Amino acid sequence: AKLILTHHPSFTLIILITTPPFKVGSTASYIAAFFATIPLISFHQLPPIPLDPASYDSPDALTSDLVNLNNVHVRVALTSTLRSLIIDLFCYPALEIAAHLGIPAYNFFTSNTSCLALYLHLPNIYPDTMDNFKDIDTVFHLPWLPPTPLNHLPDTTLLKNTIKCDFLINCTAHLAKSAGNIINTFETLEPKAVKALSLGFSIPDGPNQTQTPPIFCVGPLIDTHRNGNGDKGEECMEIAVGLERSGQRFSWVVSNPPPNNNKQGFSKGSHPSLEGFLDHTSGGVGHDSVGGFVTHCGWNSVLESICTGVPMVAWLLYAEQKLNKILLLEELKLALPVNESENGLVSAE
């Protein structure tokens, strides 16, 4: 929103916020402080939807209903002098409201252009096979992307005919129905994919063909104040042993373990510690250069590393990170992979 105001200072922006049917951290103080500083950006909290989280088998099913049922509130919020609507990938039901009101709706895609190109094809790949994607090694080819195995798609799509898979397929099916896709990337990073999507191409839409909408590259947008999730104690032990055995100097940033999950080997103080480990490695922390970055390949982390000129080691977790890894390894040549066991653990060796 602040980036849009930088280029169009006469605009007024309203951010719609859903009210989930469960407790979340309060944002009231942040919103008040933000609005006091930048009054041209305001926040509108949508009324709560009476949903019972306990009646759902998965968070994905709850999210799907929450977004769909909020349409009535979105319709009321948009009946004003708004000129356009920007939505998240998962909020595709709001496209119907924007079309009814005659205002353009743009999708803000927080990953890269290569991933967006694949997502645009995903609804048409999905019906072509009866098998689960996780069980096949078919490689998907697009002229502007590295060869992509279908079993590298996000985990939510690997098991067909599940609620979370159908939800993501519906989300991606609506990417081509927006007025355009705003992407957190820049042209020199992905020139082939950006050129292909800028020119546009046809994709099947039922019995017809539809042209992909225009794209707008606005990156790199980097969140420098995010809070990461804690690592599992077992994996932290393996990382610590592996780093020490490598004989290299390094800086290691680790979140504290949750209060109710204080794994053996971690102290209860303000810093996680392994017995004697910090004594052995304290010299590396003071070094003023970083030669490499071990990353889960989330797009924010990737952009941060690229913008600081640091090569990466790709250690994946979930979502579209396997697709990002392919881009980094095969296309950009900016990362090396790590080897995982069958259960996903990376050992000290």
From first to last of the 349 residues of the chain, give the pLDDT tens digit: 999 999 999 998 989 988 888 887 777 788 878 888 898 998 888 999 999 999 998 888 898 899 999 998 988 888 766 788 999 988 999 999 999 888 999 999 999 998 898 888 877 777 666 566 666 677 877 777 888 877 777 777 777 778 888 888 888 888 888 999 999 999 999 999 899 899 888 777 767 778 889 999 998 887 654 444 444 566 677 777 777 777 776 666 665 554 554 444 444 444 444 455 545 444 332 234 667 788 888 888 888 888 888 888 888 777 888 888 888 888 889 888 887 666 566 665 6
Predicted local distance difference test score (pLDDT) of residue 59: 85
Q: What are the residue ranges spanned by the domains of the chain?
A: 2-217, 233-337
Spatial strand order in the sheet of 85-88: 85-88, 105-109, 180-183, 215-217
Q: Where are the alpha helices (DSSP H) in the chain?
A: 2-7, 28-37, 59-69, 71-78, 94-101, 113-125, 163-173, 191-199, 233-246, 277-285, 299-307, 321-326
Instruction: Check: CB of residue 77 under 8 Å from CB of residue 49.
Output: no
- Strand partners for 42: 14
Q: Do 2-217 and 233-337 fold alike per CATH?
A: yes
Give the residue from 128, 216, 213 showing the smallest Cα distance to 176: 213
Predicted local distance difference test score (pLDDT) of residue 106: 96
Give the residue from 309, 328, 308, 312 showing the smallest Cα distance to 320: 328
CATH, domain range 233-337: 3.40.50.2000
Q: Given the structure tokens 């980094």, which residue do they identify? A: 328
Predicted local distance difference test score (pLDDT) of residue 230: 46
Class of domain 2-217 (CATH, top level): alpha beta
CA distance 199 to 301: 29
Q: How far apart are the first and last CA of the chain?
A: 45
Predicted local distance difference test score (pLDDT) of residue 183: 94
Contacts of 159 (CB under 8 A, 6+ apart): 132, 134, 165
Instruction: Check: CB of residue 311 under 8 Å from CB of residue 205.
Output: no
Predicted local distance difference test score (pLDDT) of residue 229: 47
HSE (side-chain half, CA atoms, 13 Å) at 340: 12
Q: Quick one: DSSP state of residue 151?
A: G
CA distance 261 to 229: 13
Q: Counting runs of H as helices and runs of E as strands, what totals does the chain give?
A: 12, 13
Predicted local distance difference test score (pLDDT) of residue 34: 84
Q: Quick one: DSSP state of residue 331?
A: I
